[in-house]
Structure 1
Amino acid sequence: MARRAAGGGTTTVRAARRPELRPPPLEPYDGAELERDGDYDGLEFRETDLTGQDGGGARFMDCAFSDCALDEASLTRARLLDSVLTGVRGVGTQLAEATLRDVELVDARLGGVQLHGAALERVLIRGGKIDYLNLRRARLKDVVFEGCVLVEPDFGGASLERVEFVDCALKGADFSAATLRDVDLRGAAPLEPARGVDRLSGAVISPAQLLDLAPLLAAELGLRVLAPE
């Protein structure tokens, strides 16, 4: 039986399961424009410009995206399965209600990615920088953010289970109405929640982070902190 911590939780946190990818030999993508509800299996998209293309509802299975442009690409309700995205870049990529399962996103440079309502399971996001990541009402299970910079990510109303932040900058995060379970924030530096500090129940933080968060927690509780006269 796990011991209880002072905050009412256990002294351990369940680790996220990472994707285990064994990609088959890949065929080069022929460069044709994406199709809605298309099927793409075992393909390599290398330095492909997908700017503004519409692949809504498409399925990408055992695919690799390397140094691709994703500006304003529409992949709403797309399914990315057992795939790796390396060095992708773009602004306004639309992935609302998409499914990402067993996916690695490596060294991405993205801004305004729309993943609201999406489902992420066994996803590793390593390196790179993502500005204004929209994960409102998304479901994250077994997701690892490692060595990346997240600027003003929005987790509002999202469900996070077994999510880890490892050597990751988390700036201006919004956790409003989010639900957290076994979320490990100890590797987030800095850890700067802008909103929703009251929703961090279910997360694990370090003693140093607790000191940093003390002013926000005091404000949330309506405490005034005054030096003795």
Structure 2
Amino acid sequence: MKGARRPEVRLPALEPYEGGGLEPDGDYDGLEFRDADLTGQDGSGARFMDCALTGCALDETRLRHARVLDATLSGVRGVGTDLAEATLRDVELTDARLGGPQLHGAVLERVLIRGGKIDYLNLRTARLRDVVFEGCVLVEPDFGGARLERVEFVDCALKGADLHAATLVDVDLRGAASLEISRGLDRLSGAVISTAQLLDLAPVLAAQWGIRVEG
């Protein structure tokens, strides 16, 4: 089992973001977005490098195909944030409160997601490499068709995870505080779980394989 490499984000001195709205294909370098209301704005295809987003509102913010590189996002919140087919590399996301964020087809590499709660996270067909979920709550995350390589779940709750058609390589689930899988139990061959988790999953595994268990 190969462990995930965590990001090491060291931001330079940042300039404050002065507003004006995001622009498609915009270039944002060395900026601090603090308590910015980015609701409904369109930053599709934009590049965020050496940036910090703190306490920002991301409701329905369109960031499709965006590139977020060497950046921190802290306390961001929003419903329906669109990061489909985006690239996140060397990113730390902490204490987020997100509902239905769209990251299908996205690429996540050296990403740490710590704390907070994310409902209905859509990572279908995404590619995750060296990603750590730590101390967060994921409600019905969808990993359908995704590829997870060197991904760790540490002290986090996975509720109703969908692994249908996913590919798992060196995925460590042993540290998950709770583990509930709604679909795709047959895709766990590339993961490691604890003995206690195996016992918790036993009824679902038995039902899937048609095994009748009697006392």
> Please, what TM-score do these two structures have when normalized by structure 2?
0.99
Aligned residues of 1:198 and 1:220 also touching (Cα < 8 A): no
**Residue 197 of structure 2 is aligned with which of 204, 209, 221?**
209
Q: d(CA) in 1 for partners of 2:119 and 2:42?
A: 22
String of CA shifts for 1:146-192, please: whole Å, max 9, x gaps.
00000000000000000000000000000000000000001112100
Q: d(CA) in 2 for partners of 1:59 and 1:190?
A: 36
Matched, 1:190 2:188: no
Q: What secondary structure is seen at the aligned counterpart in 1 of 2:198?
A: helix
String of CA shifts for 1:54-76, please: whole Å, max 9, x gaps.
00000000000000000000000
**Residue 128 of structure 2 is aligned with which of 128, 140, 143?**
140
- Is there any run of 5+ residues in structure 2 with no aligned partner, and where? none
Q: What secondary structure is seen at the aligned counterpart in 2 of 1:153?
A: coil
Shift of 1:222: 1.7
Q: d(CA) in 1 for partners of 2:14 and 2:54?
A: 12
Q: d(CA) in 2 for partners of 1:222 and 1:154?
A: 25
Computing the radius of gyration over CA atoms, which structure comes out larger, 1 or 2? 1
Matched, 1:119 2:107: yes
User: Identity across aligned pairs (percent)?
Assistant: 79
Aligned structure 1 segments of 4 or more residues deviating by more than 4 angstroms: none
Q: d(CA) in 2 for partners of 1:220 and 1:177?
A: 16
Q: d(CA) in 1 for partners of 2:40 and 2:70?
A: 24
Q: What secondary structure is seen at the aligned counterpart in 2 of 1:215?
A: helix
Matched, 1:199 2:187: yes
Q: d(CA) in 2 for partners of 1:145 and 1:28?
A: 29
Match of 1:179 in 2: 167
The correspondence of residues 158-169 of structure 1 with structure 2, limited to 5 A, is 158-169=146-157
**Residue 73 of structure 1 is aligned with which of 41, 61, 67?**
61
The correspondence of residues 37-116 of structure 1 with structure 2, limited to 5 A, is 37-116=25-104
Q: d(CA) in 2 for partners of 1:212 and 1:153?
A: 19
Q: What secondary structure is seen at the aligned counterpart in 2 of 1:164?
A: strand
Q: What secondary structure is seen at the aligned counterpart in 1 of 2:12?
A: coil
- Is there any run of 5+ residues in structure 1 with no aligned partner, and where? 1-12
Q: Which amino acid aligns with 2:210?
A: G
Q: d(CA) in 2 for partners of 1:111 and 1:183?
A: 25
Q: d(CA) in 1 for partners of 2:161 and 2:178?
A: 11
Q: d(CA) in 1 for partners of 2:29 and 2:150?
A: 29
Matched, 1:35 2:28: no
Q: What secondary structure is seen at the aligned counterpart in 1 of 2:81?
A: coil
Q: What secondary structure is seen at the aligned counterpart in 2 of 1:210?
A: helix
Match of 2:143 in 1: 155
Aligned residues of 1:66 and 1:85 also touching (Cα < 8 A): yes
Q: What secondary structure is seen at the aligned counterpart in 1 of 2:122?
A: coil
Q: d(CA) in 2 for partners of 1:118 and 1:22?
A: 23
